[in-house]
């Protein structure tokens, strides 16, 4: 694991503050990774993403293998040069997207055959090919190929799915080309069944990975079930490696995840919300299409330093969305990503100072005090 490692700097309850060291720079944890599915964080330039304080972004194997193609990205200098992001990049292996294809995919013990959602063309993805694609992209953090178990699933279906994901994890690890400062994460599966999660975590630990992701959540089980699953999963993960909760989530999800010992998160929520006039703020979620904002000269969030808050009023943002101007989604996405980065920064400071519980209670109280 030379050159790629995570070291813990502080702990408050189960929550950890640390630093992830990689070939492309250091990342302070806990961290939220903006989603750049197709080599761009939607509605943002790379400079804008950097200005929010983001240190690492996420790309996606499934989407990039279809368009423009991993080999083309490699020929153009790799994903870092291609998208103007010299910092760390984590690439999802494509398992979740393939699950979402439903009848457009055929799963077998060796891999999955699927039809592109773009043009219907046939493609084959195996653990080895997924790892090869991520290598061509020059991903800092490669994810194993897994089957994201749908929810709900019976115990028998969840067990079979988990066991296949563990076999694929071993094949992915074997296919991974070790390089200084690069890492690979295993993905825990097992749906909401505690014993399956334990078995999956232990199987991945026996293989040995540079970090451990918790997959198969935020797929419809609800927050309570997700938190319960974290409670029975995290204790079985190695304490000296980063922990990543995939595809999560709302600000409250992030607070709860950090309090349960999770270090890394990603989700499309802040960017998707930015395109649909929804703003995450310290006073809760606001809908900028609401008429009550039409003549409001106050900033979106007085404590936020992003351009949407520092230079514009709620009335102006409301106007942009009512006129369908593209600047509205751009400014609000910028704000939402900034808010998520501020949220993680403040949690990290609270962990270091041993006051995360009180901090989380205050944050939630502020949200509750202001209904949309």
Q: Which of 251, 140, 233 lies closest to 191 in space, CA to CA?
A: 233
Ramachandran angles phi, psi of 6, nearest 5°: -120, 130
Alpha-carbon span 6 to 18, nearest angstrom: 7
Binning the chain into helix, strand and coil, the percentages to the nearest 5 are: 45, 20, 35
Q: What's the pLDDT at 2? A: 61
Task: Report, as an integer, the average pLDDT of 151-159.
Answer: 97
Task: Report, as an integer, the average pLDDT of 185-191.
Answer: 98
Using a cut of 0.85, tell me whether the model's pTM lies above it: yes
Residue 371 has pLDDT above 60, yes or no: no
Alpha-carbon span 317 to 161, nearest angstrom: 46
Task: Report, as an integer, the average pLDDT of 160-164.
Answer: 97
- Is 266 tagged catalytic? yes
Q: What's the pLDDT at 323? A: 98
Residue 132 in tokens: 């090869």
Alpha-carbon span 290 to 322, nearest angstrom: 10
Between β-strands 211-214 and 15-22, what pairing exists: parallel, antiparallel or unpaired?
unpaired
Among the CATH numbers 3.40.50.300, 3.40.50.740, 3.20.20.105, 3.50.50.60, which is that of 5-267? 3.20.20.105
All CATH 3.20.20.105 domain ranges in the chain, comma separated: 5-267
Residue 196 has pLDDT above 70, yes or no: yes
The mean of the pLDDT values for the chain is 96
- Is 296 tagged catalytic? no
Residue where the block lists tokens 């078995």: 199
Active-site residue, selected from the candidate residues 12, 210, 266, 342: 266
Q: Which of 131, 27, 158, 150 lies closest to 85 in space, CA to CA?
A: 27
Tell me: the pLDDT tens digits for 100-154? 877 788 999 999 999 998 999 999 999 999 999 999 999 999 999 999 998 999 9
Active-site residue, selected from the candidate residues 12, 92, 138, 146: 92
Percent of the chain with pLDDT over 70: 99
Q: Which of 295, 293, 290, 275 lies closest to 336 in space, CA to CA?
A: 275
H helices of the chain, where?
A: 46-51, 61-66, 70-75, 79-82, 95-100, 127-137, 155-175, 194-207, 223-233, 251-259, 269-275, 307-311, 314-322, 327-352, 356-369
Q: What's the pLDDT at 97? A: 80
What letters, b where the CB count within 10 A reaches 16 and e where it falls short, cover 290-320? eeebeebeebbbeebebebbeebbbebbbbb
- pLDDT tier at 372, thresholds 50, 70, 90: very low
Q: What's the pLDDT at 104? A: 83
């Amino acid at each position: 694991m030379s050159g790629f490692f995570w070291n813990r700097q502080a702990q408050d309850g189960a929550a950890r503050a640390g630093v992830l060291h990689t070939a492309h720079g250091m990342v302070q944890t806990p961290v939220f990774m903006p989603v750049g599915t197709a080599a761009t964080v939607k509605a943002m330039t790379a400079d804008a993403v950097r200005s929010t304080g983001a240190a690492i972004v996420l790309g996606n194997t499934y989407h990039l293998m279809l368009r423009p193609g991993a080999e083309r990205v490699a020929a153009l200098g790799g994903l870092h040069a291609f998208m103007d992001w010299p910092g760390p990049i984590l690439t999802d292996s494509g398992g979740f997207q393939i699950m979402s294809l439903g009848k457009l995919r055929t799963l077998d013990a060796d891999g999955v055959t699927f039809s592109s959602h773009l043009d219907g063309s046939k493609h084959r993805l195996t653990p080895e090919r997924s790892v090869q694609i991520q290598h061509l992209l020059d991903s800092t953090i490669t994810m194993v190929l897994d089957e994201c178990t749908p929810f709900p699933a019976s115990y028998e279906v969840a067990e079979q799915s988990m066991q296949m994901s563990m076999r694929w994890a071993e094949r992915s690890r074997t296919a991974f080309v070790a390089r200084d400062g690069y890492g690979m994460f295993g993905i825990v599966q097992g749906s909401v069944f505690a014993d399956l999660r334990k078995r999956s975590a232990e199987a991945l630990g026996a293989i040995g990975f540079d970090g451990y992701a918790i997959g198969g959540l935020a797929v419809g089980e609800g927050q309570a079930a997700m938190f319960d699953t974290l409670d029975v999963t995290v204790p079985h993960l190695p304490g000296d490696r980063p922990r990543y909760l995939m595809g999560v989530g709302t600000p409250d999800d992030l607070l709860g995840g950090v309090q349960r010992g999770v270090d890394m998160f990603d989700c499309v929520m802040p960017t998707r919300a930015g395109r649909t006039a929804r703003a995450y703020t310290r006073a809760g979620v606001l809908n900028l299409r609401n008429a009550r904002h039409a003549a409001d000269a106050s900033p979106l969030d007085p404590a936020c330093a992003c351009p949407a808050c520092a230079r514009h009023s709620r009335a102006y943002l409301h106007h942009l969305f009512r006129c369908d101007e593209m600047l509205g989604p751009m400014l609000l996405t910028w704000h939402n990503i900034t808010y998520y980065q501020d949220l993680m920064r403040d949690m990290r400071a609270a962990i270091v100072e041993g006051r995360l519980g009180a901090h989380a209670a205050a944050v939630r109280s502020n949200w509750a005090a202001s209904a949309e």
